[in-house]
Amino acid sequence: MASGTIQSDTTQPGTTQPDTTPKEEMAARARDRLQVLTARQSGRWGRLLWLLVGPGILVMLGENDAPSMLSYSATGARFGVGFFLPFVALTFAMAFIAQEVTVRLGAVSKTGHADLIYRRFGRLWGNFAMADLLFTNVLTLITEFVGIVAGAGYFGIPKSVAVAGGVSLVTLTLAAHRYWVWERLTLALAVCNLVFVPVAILTHPHWGRVASAFATWGPLPRGGFGASTLTILLADIGATITPWMLFFQQGAVSDKGLATSDVFHGRIDTALGAFLATLAAAACIIAASPLFIHHMPAGQFGAAQFAQALVPYAGRFGAALFALGILEAGLVAATTISASSAYAFGEVARRAHSLNAAARQAPSFYLVFILVAAVAGAIVLIPGFPLEAVVLMVNIVAVLTMPPAVAFLLILANDREIMGAYKSTSGLNALGVGVGAFVALAGIVYALSVIIPGFRL
């Protein structure tokens, strides 16, 4: 395990369990911490920030995955830039509120999210949380490979080659057996999510309308929110806030070895990630908005169709960048979601679960990491599998499974025995409850639209 500083299921409050962390893992983390300490003592704040950023940027840009970017594309093509641009910015602000808690939890407890749930709520609720996570993770990983296949297909790459390449890349990022190397490799790929910004610029949008949308929060879609519009609304919420993000970032914070003295920089990291992800998401909506303005049909949730439809407005180069962005989004998310699954499995199985550990020391961790990606990729290759239906529904499922995850998060953040001085303040609690209530309400409204024919908000 990454650490053994919180009591186990059978220990009494205030006691600790033996530390079984492999020596190589401890040594690797100690070297990283020495660099942080040196930068802090010498006053090299730029260097310090560079050393501490990572989990927050990765979790936010990782959530800008293939189905999310396709959801944003469908939003721009159907509704333009009016209502949904500021709405998406709001959802990322809510994501920051939730993810800031995972920074504090990871830095204070030195362990992952699944481990804390099992220890504080017992095996019943722990199993419930794990089932929630694994269900959404498997569905989401399938959609990531759908995006990888669709993006690669624009360039004529066969489906089997695209899937094999995706699984191979996920595997190759693990080769160094060092969290720092894995994080930097994945970060380099993640910042390519900003490729949607030049695509948006190439479509020559009306920047006055874009500014007006943010300044005035454009009008609601015509006719209000019916079932189809609510589907897009929930898909955009699920494109920003999902359970795997909580498990990934807390696991990464613990694996990186962040301490309570690093919480401030962890917040900066998460805020920077939210800003970059909002920029890419807004650019994706703007890039697809000419299809709304010119009433051009585009294959909803199809990367290649969207790319082809954008050729008259962004040119072939812009369309190629769009397809490349969908491919990149799928690759980054496949890596980070696989990591969240591996962290959670290692935590609940009480097995070594660190990217600083060698494969021989944490075989189950690395096996789960690669296996979940390989299984998802294999499912995409099954003839006749309803891929489009899965892509359409995955973000909605994420919204419907998020309220229990937020509840666990808030209870843990207010547990004084775990958090001590870093327990959530009343202001942070109010924001957290607001996020949970918003997501729950969105799920209820969507359920009503499905149950009641003709329901409209």
Instruction: Quote the distance between the C-alpha of residue 236 and its chain's center.
Output: 13
pLDDT at 53 > cutoff 90 = yes
SS3 content of the chain, % helix, strand, coil (to 5): 75, 0, 25
Cα→Cα distances 102→129, 365, 409, Å = 15, 21, 8
The secondary structure of residue 351, as a DSSP letter, is: -
**Binning pLDDT at 50, 70 and 90, where does residue 443 land?**
confident
Max Cα distance, the chain (Å): 67
Nearest alpha carbon to residue 338 among 441, 244, 431: 244
Q: Which residue has tokens 């499922």?
A: 397
pLDDT at 301 > cutoff 70 = no
Superfamily per CATH, domain 44-451: Hydantoin permease (1.10.4160.10)
| Helices and strands in the chain: count of H runs, count of E runs | 18, 0
Distance CA 392, CA 70 (A): 9
Q: Interior CA angle at 387 toward 341 and 285, to 5°?
A: 85
Task: Indicate the average pLDDT of the chain.
Answer: 85
**Binning pLDDT at 50, 70 and 90, where does residue 302 land?**
low
Distance CA 276, CA 193 (A): 9
Contact 141, 248 (CB under 8 A): no
| Max avg pLDDT among 17-21, 238-242, 296-300, 395-399 | 238-242
**Binning pLDDT at 50, 70 and 90, where does residue 216 land?**
confident
Handedness of CA 175, 115, 4, 414 (dihedral sign): positive
Residue 229 exposure: Cα atoms within 13 Å on the Cβ side: 15
SS3 at position 42: coil
Contact 434, 273 (CB under 8 A): no
Boundaries of every domain in the chain: 44-451
Could you read off the pLDDT of 160-211 as tens digits, one per residue?
Answer: 999 999 999 999 989 888 898 999 999 999 999 999 999 999 999 989 889 9
Distance CA 179, CA 176 (A): 8
Helix boundaries (H) for 14-83: 23-41, 45-52, 55-63, 66-79
The per-residue pLDDT for 454 is 65
**Binning pLDDT at 50, 70 and 90, where does residue 128 land?**
confident
Contact 271, 38 (CB under 8 A): no
Instruction: Give pairs for 431-438: CB < 8 Å, separation 24+.
Output: 431/97, 432/97, 432/98, 432/101, 432/406, 434/94, 434/97, 435/94, 435/97, 435/98, 435/241, 435/406, 436/403, 436/406, 436/407, 436/410, 438/94
Burial class (CB in 10 A: 0-12, 13-18, 19+), 12: exposed
Distance CA 420, CA 418 (A): 6
Distance CA 147, CA 126 (A): 31
| Max avg pLDDT among 76-90, 322-336, 352-366 | 322-336
**Binning pLDDT at 50, 70 and 90, where does residue 9 land?**
very low
210 Cβ neighbours under 8 A, 6+ residues apart: 81, 85, 286
Q: Interior CA angle at 298 toward 162 and 332, to 5°?
A: 35
Contact 237, 439 (CB under 8 A): yes
pLDDT at 295 > cutoff 60 = no
Nearest alpha carbon to residue 180 among 37, 35, 42: 35
pLDDT at 33 > cutoff 90 = no
Distance CA 421, CA 332 (A): 35
Distance CA 208, CA 188 (A): 32
pLDDT at 368 > cutoff 80 = yes
Instruction: Quote the distance between the C-alpha of residue 32 and its chain's center.
Output: 25
SS3 at position 132: helix
The per-residue pLDDT for 56 is 95
Distance CA 200, CA 247 (A): 32
Task: Report the percentage of the chain scoring pLDDT > 70.
Answer: 89
Residue 424 structure tokens: 């959530």
Could you read off the pLDDT of 389-429 as tens digits, one per residue?
Answer: 777 677 777 777 888 888 899 999 999 999 989 999 999 99
The per-residue pLDDT for 445 is 77
Residue 246 structure tokens: 């909580």
The per-residue pLDDT for 22 is 63
pTM score, whole prediction = 0.88
One-letter amino acid of 334: A
One-letter amino acid of 261: S
Distance CA 197, CA 284 (A): 7
> Average pLDDT of 296-309?
61
Distance CA 454, CA 457 (A): 10
